């Protein structure tokens, strides 16, 4: 049990601290930034939506106001069987050049993307969520990296709009941490997955998604990598989320992501081969080990009880204090109170509990894996 404890502790330390520091060092030694230039290729802005009547008008006004040559920008809304007023609201913008591709049934985001992308007219496709506002120069900045022929996809940076509750504070810390890792991975070779709210690819590199596949914002760029191209992260293109998600919504989103991670580890297992170099290293460290982190946390807790005295009491006490802080944070969240130092343990435990639920869902309920929006 002592060996299990130290292996679990060492792996967790590597996942959350060692890997970020190591990839930072490797990026400084071996990395390179993509070549950028002010280019204006033809772009298709694709908005996959499902029942977004609350946001779609604002999103389309924002899209039409983008500072990009109008004759080179196509705006397309792919509606996945929306049953509210989304389609009717989109049709109001058809006279201004917006195209609506409406599917009668709710077939899932992956299926909608697979149908819509081949119908787009431009060679660069920008995917964007309805709840995201793009800065006027966002697309101009996003496409600059495509001046480098080795770049096949580009991910924008993500900024969470500030909120006072503990969960949002914890999520803000998490995204700053993730953004740091993504910048290093991008410089080393390729970012492991894109930010779903806004990312772009070369259209010929889009690979059709299976209906049951989720986490399209991960699969699409990773398949670009398998074709020999880089996927880079551009921190100068920042998008913000307006929609507020509850604790339950965040848990459901993270659980879906975890189940999707399991799908991806199977679908992209060939990327773990050493011939893929830095990509294999980052994929294993950032995706595979992070997905399995809840199992290492359980092993750490169970093995702590079998350590020689006084190690057992110390290890259990520290873990009990950490998990107790998370429970206290959850209680504060429920009551609308804010104690800032409780935000990190609350969000860490929420994320890993959702990850554990996602692992269970993938192993025992694969047939229920569908794309769903967290509200």
- Which DSSP string corresponds to 94-141? GGGTEEEEEESS---HHHHHHHHGGG--SSEEEEE-TTEEPPTTHHHH
C-alpha pair distances (Å), 259 with each of 184, 256, 367: 26, 5, 11
Closest CA to 221 of 122, 70, 229: 229
Q: Which residue has the higher pLDDT, 31 or 1?
A: 31
| pLDDT confidence tier of residue 326, bands split at 50, 70 and 90 | very high
pLDDT at 92 over 90: yes
pLDDT at 369 over 90: no
Helix (H) or strand (E) holding 58: helix 56-64
16 contacts 181 by C-beta, under 8 angstroms: no
Q: Which residue has the higher pLDDT, 160 or 54?
A: 54
0.85 cut: is pTM over it?
yes
Residues shown for the chain? 375
Architecture of domain 43-165+191-245: Alpha-Beta Complex (3.90)
pLDDT at 371 over 70: no
Q: Which residue has the higher pLDDT, 28 or 105?
A: 28
Sort strands 124-128 and 198-202 into parallel, antiparallel or unpaired. Answer: antiparallel
pLDDT at 341 over 60: yes
**Domain map (residue ranges) of the chain:** 43-165+191-245
Calpha distance 19→52 (Å, rounded): 38
Q: Give pLDDT tens digits for 122-164.
A: 999 999 999 888 999 999 999 999 999 999 999 998 776 655 5
Q: Give pLDDT tens digits for 267-291.
A: 888 999 999 999 999 999 999 999 9
């Amino acid at each position: 049990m002592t060996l299990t404890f130290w292996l679990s502790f060492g792996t967790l330390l590597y996942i959350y601290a060692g890997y970020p520091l190591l990839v930072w060092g490797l990026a400084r030694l071996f990395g390179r930034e993509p070549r950028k230039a002010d280019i204006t290729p033809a772009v298709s802005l694709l908005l996959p939506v499902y029942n977004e009547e609350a946001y779609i008008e604002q999103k389309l006004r924002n899209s039409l106001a983008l500072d990009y040559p109008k004759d080179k920008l196509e705006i397309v809304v792919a509606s996945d069987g929306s049953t509210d007023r989304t389609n009717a609201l989109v049709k109001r913008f058809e006279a201004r050049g917006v195209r609506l591709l409406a599917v009668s049934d709710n077939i899932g985001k992956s299926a909608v993307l697979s149908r819509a992308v081949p119908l787009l007219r431009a060679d660069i496709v920008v995917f964007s969520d309805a709840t995201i506002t793009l800065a006027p120069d966002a697309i101009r900045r996003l496409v600059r990296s495509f001046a480098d022929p080795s770049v096949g996809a580009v991910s924008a940076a993500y900024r969470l709009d500030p909120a006072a509750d503990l969960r949002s504070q914890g999520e803000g810390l998490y995204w700053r941490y993730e953004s740091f890792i993504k910048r290093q991975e991008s410089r080393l070779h390729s970012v492991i997955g894109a930010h779903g709210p806004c990312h772009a690819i070369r259209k010929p590199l889009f690979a059709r998604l299976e209906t049951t596949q989720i986490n399209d914002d991960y699969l699409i760029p990773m398949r670009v990598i398998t074709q020999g191209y880089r996927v880079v992260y551009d921190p100068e293109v920042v998008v913000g989320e307006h929609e507020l998600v509850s604790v339950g919504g965040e848990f459901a989103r993270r659980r879906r992501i975890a189940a999707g991670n399991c799908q991806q580890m199977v679908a992209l297992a060939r990327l773990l081969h050493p011939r893929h170099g830095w990509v294999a290293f980052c994929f294993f460290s950032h995706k595979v080990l992070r997905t399995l982190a809840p199992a290492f946390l359980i092993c750490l807790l169970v093995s702590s009880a079998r350590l020689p005295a006084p190690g057992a009491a110390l290890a259990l006490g520290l873990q009990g204090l950490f998990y107790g802080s998370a429970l206290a944070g959850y209680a504060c969240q429920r009551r609308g109170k804010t104690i800032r130092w409780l935000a990190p343990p609350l969000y860490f435990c929420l994320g890993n509990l959702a990850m554990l639920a996602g692992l269970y869902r993938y192993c025992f309920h694969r047939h229920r894996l569908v794309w769903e929006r967290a509200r």
